[in-house]
Amino acid sequence: MSDSEQGGAGATSEELPVPQPERGRGPLRLAAVWIGIVAVLAGTVVAVVLANSGGGTNSPTAAVQKLVNAAADVDTLGMLDSLPPSERNALQGGLVDVTNELKRLKVLSADTDLHKIKGLDFKFDNLKYKTTPLADGITTVEITAGTAHNTINVKALPMGDFLHKMFDQQLKDSPDSQTNSSSIDTGSPVSMVTVKEDGHWYVSLAYTIAEAARKDAGRPAPNFGHGLQARGEATPEKAVESMLRSFTTLDVQRMLELLAPDEARALDDYAPMFLDDAKKSAADAASNFKATIDDIKLSSDKTGDTATVHLSSVAFSVQIEKVRFSVKAEGQCADVSVNGLSVRDMADLPPQLKGGKGHFCQNDAQTKDALGFLPDFSKLHGGIITVQRNGSWFVSPTRTFFGAMTSVLRTLQPADLQKAVDSFQQRFEGTTSDAPTLQ
């Protein structure tokens, strides 16, 4: 049976053969494969790169089938190429940069191949699909039957020297491989949401997460296409300033309106489901919280419809109950004052804040001594990433996150990672790592 591509309450079922990789046995629910590989590979720094090709398919089920095929091949690029362009484009450049930096820092091995992740093998048998249209261009695809297998060889994962030296003993003690298998049935199907963009169907990570949250909350489906409307600003600087000021006033709706509309499409559709509760929580918090931005200076570097906004200087204050913090920052230095603390709490402040006032610079000796290991922040060149859509500027949280991560990684050398681990252990565990320092 073919998929329905129009809105409605109907559902269809179909069974498609899944290509079998030459190797691959072992246990894993398809849900864990789909969500786990993306989250683990991206989140634990076996980071992923997204392909530039369009990658779409002609039906919702075919989109999920493409994702399953890529998972069976352990092809991370192929898996993430199944995302819609609106989601893929927000991730693409940042993930490429992060991956390259992790290789340079010897977190990832130099021969990491994102078309075939070493140490992982997957196999899927006899999967059956059921489709349920949610709206025009939005369809849920459930995997209602089948078997998922995996083999994981921890020693063969593409880890660089840093991870090998840190987990040397654990790697020696780990088995060569672990295998498992699990079945999928109608009582616990694996559900994904597909969306249609530019005439092609894709698996949407954002809509899948949003729809799962809606079902868990027992809320009715949203009126797709009629949710929160994006509302940007005339310049990149104004978009960032508006976002920062919305944080100080706890204006949840304004925060969401300022997010890039293509990147936040699912969030905008599902916003009515949680926005009233979020506003109420913000109003409750405001009774004990007050923040103001007294002065702010911003600049930006534009490239086409993207701009990086830099904070030149800012003066702000935050009051939580009776305690008030004030900060005036410019360049790499900041003046900080604290009022409203008890005499005992004042005595516990670091030396730089004795008496409730202090002057900090990011790379001075006193700051490093108080906070432990710090990278050389003078080399940071990141900022808040904004994008232009339909003549207005919006904040891109995904691009900003990966841009900040890349910027910090570029300040580091391989030996710095061991210093960071030693500093953490000394402060929180009372021990020092005996792992060799990387050069």
How many residues does this entry show for the chain?
439
Q: Report CA 177 to chain centroid distance, whole Å.
A: 29
299 to 41, 236, 239, 240, 383: CA distances (angstroms): 35, 9, 12, 10, 10
40 to 207, 225, 228: CA distances (angstroms): 20, 32, 31
DSSP bridge partners of 233: 393
More confident residue, 223 or 173: 223
Domain boundaries along the sequence of the chain? 12-217, 235-315+375-439
Tokens of 207: 């809509």
How far apart, in whole angstroms, are the C-alpha atoms of residue 211 and residue 127?
22
Residue 363 has pLDDT above 70, yes or no: no
Q: Report CA 373 to chain centroid distance, whole Å.
A: 25
pLDDT tens for 130-189 read 999 999 999 999 999 998 888 888 888 888 988 888 888 777 777 878 888 888 887 888
- Give the pLDDT band (50/70/90) at residue 319: very high
- Residue 363 · residue 374 · CB < 8 Å: yes
Identify the helix (H) or strand (E) that includes residue 403.
helix 397-410
On the 0-12 / 13-18 / 19+ scale of CB atoms within 10 A, 122 is buried
Can you give the pTM of this predicted structure?
A: 0.78
Residue with tokens 């296409």: 225
- Give the pLDDT band (50/70/90) at residue 255: very high
- The percent helix, strand, coil of the chain (3-state, each to 5) is 40, 25, 35
Nearest CA to 295 out of 270, 275, 313 is that of 313
More confident residue, 172 or 414: 414
- Give the pLDDT band (50/70/90) at residue 239: very high
On the 0-12 / 13-18 / 19+ scale of CB atoms within 10 A, 359 is middle
